[in-house]
Structure 1
């Protein structure tokens, strides 16, 4: 197509829209391409001097699916057609995919491209001929008709712009409403959080008061146990001494019934004295009155002493006491008296609650720690009661064999002593299999 007059600009615009439709561009892209070419045409009619003319050519690649529509506008002069000036003046770059101006000595070529939507069929020469024939047979519109078409397109674009503006206003209103809701929710949550924080602070203060009260109560309980235990030891010891005098062969003989009653008194007093001693020891441990005397201890010698003193407690022939001496040198820095109390308590506990099998004590070193274990083949302790047996005065219901008694203070006292020596006391037990008490102590305690 050749641009000679203003009417040719309208024809180029019409042909541009028809070519764009023929190759599958959407309506909006058709309008954009037609607008770009009409702007270029008007610009060239003003800037290209006679007798020079501008030629417009449309092309698409052949042999494969079309991907690009190419428009080339060639002029017979290079004057006043720089790409920077043309693109900036007409804002054409926003209407097409690529825009390029090539200047030669006597010609200038303006090249525009627009991508064709994917999925098109391959373009063959025959198909291209059909497009040409269709374009040749189309009736050129008059400038007035083309301007009417352009006005309709502008009105449609304006209506679309208004619709988009209204939609944008609606979305902005929804966003503002959402923001107000978010702000209200944030304010509400902030107030609730502040209220919760005030409640937490108040609860913390209350817990601090309760903690102080509990510490005071615990200290009072410890003082009470220590005082009561100390005051009870003297009369109980006196009762035991009097029963011994009554049963002394050098005293007046007692009848069988009197001897039986005296024996009951002596046994009850002995049990009461054991309870008083346990209370006194526990009170000392809780009040912090026990201070370990640190010294180097040979575990084989300590195990030997325990073997001799505890063996007398094994009154059941079905239960065997096994004390496995660690291989010397087996040294630990600890308090010999307190450590002996812990282990003797565990051995006595195992012998008391084991009716057949064995009670075994072993020791092994792991780096800077000693692990002392006392295991038995008793009836075991249910898992849900493992923590409770270390509570004062608690005894597992139905666990003690017939003829055995206890105060429920031995294990709590043993754990407190183990903690005082820098270690801990743990329990593993399986009902029907047995129990294992494990004492972990540092090799160099007190240092």
Structure 2
């Protein structure tokens, strides 16, 4: 406390100490400043009008040394303007004479509470800034790791695809007796090799597709495409595969064409994947592909008689590396990439893909595609001819 009137300082020193505050007294601003520099003070109560260094000068010096120190000024009624000016310069509050000790203690309590809140706020802000810094650094590391992963997948996939394609082609030549005949046992082994190289090529292509999706370089080559024909081609290609699993493969298709403006290779990839998944999970059962018109688009369904999917897994199975697993069939192997790629392809076409399933009752995978204006434009041309 800083005041040049001993009566006031003695009174308040006693009152403040009784209230539990450690208090030091100075009779002018200069002495107060000297003590402040070598002590640890949270609150300074100072008169404005004092010799050697007045209260406003003391306030200015205190704030330059410790900006968060709380300063309360004491003033007589004629000096209220000076007190208000002191508050503008950074004082917390002012008290007018004559002074009541209880009033001073209440002001100090409010000031102490304010400082405690300010310190908590500063501490929380510091922690938040440190956490944000750590999060930013972690994100940068994740970006670098993601770039390394994408580069690794792309490089390895390209390096593997060429020799594996060459191996597949060479095995195909042998199986077709192009370079001479082979016995049945050898053919059986070569067929196994051929199928496995085909599986590896699909895996490599899936990895490359995932890399393109993550990099935002997944492009579509759209053209007017008959969805019915794509289903027929995929079903025909997968019939030998279905026979291996003793699965009946059926198509329910409309009599007329259903044209969509889409990337036919990518949509074929979706259909192929959904049918092959259905076959793998429907050993000894049935897979049906249905095509029909939907509101402003086309609706494709692939239903199977497999063990079904738990309700809580419907969204999860379209995530990357999430293999469709069921309680009753844990023998099906795979990478879990196919459905996530299907989802990306359909959504890139502004369509929707989803599944309906009941455990023990099989599953139905749906996707819809908009027909788009390109099909309408061609229809109008045909009508005008």
Q: Which residues of structure 2 form unaligned runs of 5+? A: 1-100, 376-385
Alignment partner, residue 252 of structure 2: 324
Alpha carbons of structure 1 residues 302 and 383: separation in structure 2 relative to 1, 3 Å: same
Q: Which residues of structure 1 form unaligned runs of 5+? A: 1-172
- The answer to whether the Cα contact below 8 Å between 2:247 and 2:279 also exists between their aligned partners in 1 is yes
Aligned ranges 1:33-182 → 2 under 5 Å: none
The two structures, once aligned, show a CA RMSD in angstroms of 4.1
Of 264, 287, 298, the residue aligned with 2:215 is 287
- Which SS does the other structure have where 1:234 is aligned? helix
Greater shift in the superposed pair: 231-240 or 302-311: 302-311
- The answer to whether the Cα contact below 8 Å between 1:300 and 1:330 also exists between their aligned partners in 2 is yes
- Which SS does the other structure have where 2:346 is aligned? helix
TM-score, normalised to structure 2's length?
0.57
Alpha carbons of structure 1 residues 349 and 260: separation in structure 2 relative to 1, 3 Å: closer
- The answer to whether the Cα contact below 8 Å between 1:356 and 1:378 also exists between their aligned partners in 2 is no
Of 165, 172, 177, the residue aligned with 1:237 is 165
Alpha carbons of structure 1 residues 246 and 374: separation in structure 2 relative to 1, 3 Å: closer
| Structure possessing the higher radius of gyration over alpha carbons | 1
- The answer to whether the Cα contact below 8 Å between 1:421 and 1:445 also exists between their aligned partners in 2 is no
Of 365, 371, 377, the residue aligned with 2:305 is 377
- The answer to whether the Cα contact below 8 Å between 1:299 and 1:326 also exists between their aligned partners in 2 is no
- The answer to whether the Cα contact below 8 Å between 2:258 and 2:298 also exists between their aligned partners in 1 is no
Deviation string 1:13-57 (CA, Å, 9 cap, x unpaired) is: xxxxxxxxxxxxxxxxxxxxxxxxxxxxxxxxxxxxxxxxxxxxx
- The answer to whether the Cα contact below 8 Å between 2:150 and 2:211 also exists between their aligned partners in 1 is yes
Q: How far 1:387 moved relative to its partner? A: 4.3
Of 345, 353, 374, the residue aligned with 2:273 is 345
Does structure 1 residue 433 correspond to structure 2 residue 364?
no
Alignment partner, residue 270 of structure 1: 198
- The answer to whether the Cα contact below 8 Å between 1:427 and 1:435 also exists between their aligned partners in 2 is yes
TM-score, normalised to structure 1's length?
0.50
Q: In 2, distance between residues paired with 1:435 and 1:256? A: 39
Alpha carbons of structure 1 residues 191 and 414: separation in structure 2 relative to 1, 3 Å: same
Of 351, 361, 372, the residue aligned with 2:289 is 361
Q: How many pairs does the alignment contain?
A: 276
